[in-house]
Amino acid sequence: MARAGAGTIFELSYFGKPSILIPLPDAANDHQNLNAIEYEEPGATITIEQENFLSHLVVMQLESLISKPDVLEKMSAAARAFYKPLSADKIAAYLLSLGGVTVNLPK
């Protein structure tokens, strides 16, 4: 269980970990909720809104997940598929190319 910041999602996807995300409701421009929606769509996570983050509901969700190893494996696979290697390098290379700089990235 974690918040739905970009860094958290990057780490979860890099390591291929299934997760439960609780977006911070006061995050600027609702970015954590948007992050959670994008990450949940392929099945990598389950999102619980903060107002629904109640102990009995969380326990039920955890028990349900723990009892379904096949679901956990599908979540792990979706998390790994979400990870985009070299994405920061690709963004930086694109931005540099706008200024006429060519960057050769590894494949």
**Hey, where are the domains in the chain?**
6-98
Q: Where does residue 64 fall: left (phi above 0), alpha (psi -120 to 50 degrees), or beta otherwise?
A: alpha
Please write the tens of the pLDDT for every residue from 17-74.
999 999 999 999 999 999 999 999 999 999 999 999 999 999 999 999 999 999 999 9
What letters, b where the CB count within 10 A reaches 16 and e where it falls short, cover 84-94? Answer: eeeeeeeeeee
Question: What's the CATH fold of domain 6-98?
Answer: Rossmann fold (3.40.50)
Q: Is the pLDDT of residue 7 over 90?
A: yes
| CA gyration radius, the chain | 17
pLDDT of residue 104: 85
pLDDT of residue 54: 92
